[in-house]
Amino acid sequence: MLTIQGKRLRSFCDHLTRRDFLRVGGLGVGGLTLANLLAAESQAATTNDHSVVMIYLPGGPTQHETFDPKPHAPIEIRGSFGPISTKVPGMQFCELLPKLSSMSDKFSIVRSLVGMANRHESFQCYTGRPGGRNGDGEPSGGWPTLGSVVSKVLGPSRNGVVPYIDASPEMSYTPYRNRGIHDASSAISWPGITGPAHVPFALEGDVKDDLVLNGIDLTRLADRRSLLTSLQSVEQIAAGEGLDDYQQQAFGILTSSRLAEAMDLEREDPRSIERYGKTQATDPSFGGAPQDATRFLMARRLVEAGVRCVTVSFGAWDWHANREGPIDQLSRKYLPVFD
């Protein structure tokens, strides 16, 4: 946990100070430190609910061509492009990131945050823990992902809206799919020790039609729910809270249109959709995600609907093999979309 000592700085529009933001920036390193933060917020009975959109960049962008160009380093070390000044005095970004440079006073660069193991697994980013492979010494059940901790500690913010949604597209490279599950056979993030009730709702394909009632009214749905409750078997009850919580979530979603409406981008102002830009495909050989900015729009709408945590994968950044071309060529192609 990184704590900066000194006088309290001004708050941003979300009432967080820069010091608070830096503390939040260290949550992944502290693992369940996030749970402590959320528990403290819950006990304080604050009326301002906060949501998290976690963006996973498969492979990791090159730092010298993005936020750390090192213009004074030897030519064999410094970035391929010139630096540009940002809104923060003394901080420079790559010249291919003018938009991020113009709003650099709205976010923080945590330069002390590094990977815990030299691996490709997304496990580190999703859980804040070393691991992702058998024999890594995890507790029974495994470490939970960030969103599963949020789901466990805070639960849903309102009826009909799940607390945790994984909006990432399918990726072909196995380690990028390893969001806490060792065999990486699942496209969803693993809940670990928080239990199956806190597996995220995964947006796979067109799922909007599955979130609304078709040909059945609320009275009939209530009758079916009553029948289902009466037919609960001893084995299901012995399995713990997971199944029941899934059922509670499912009935809540079906009796409220809030989640389905949030996922329907046709309800969004076309001018807003245009601002997010078009999707750019990435080289399939990298095995990552497309640069699909509409998933950020979806994440924004889900947060506005009350989802507490949304995870999104964006791009394919493992460029060192030069499979599609040299780094300067790849930077010119993909960084403007990233910006």
Give the contacts of 120 (CB within 8 A, at least 6 positions apart).
59, 173, 175, 176, 318
CA distances from 65 to 88, 104, 230, 328 (A): 18, 16, 61, 8
For residues 61-90, average pLDDT: 91
Instruction: Return the exposure string of 210-247: e unless at least 16 CB atoms fall within 10 Å of the residue's CB, then b.
Output: ebeeeeeeeeeeeeebeeeeeeeeeeeeeeeeeeebee
Give yes or no for residue 153 having a pLDDT over 50.
yes
For residues 120-126, average pLDDT: 82
- What is the residue extent of each domain of the chain? 104-338
More confident residue, 105 or 170: 105
Confidence of residue 17 (pLDDT cuts 50, 70, 90): very low
- The tens digit of pLDDT for each residue in 251-294 reads 555 555 677 788 788 888 888 888 888 888 988 888 889 999 88
Please give the mean pLDDT across all residues of the chain.
73
pTM above 0.75, yes or no: no
Give yes or no for residue 296 having a pLDDT over 60.
yes
Cα-flanking dihedrals φ and ψ of residue 227, to 5°? -65, -40
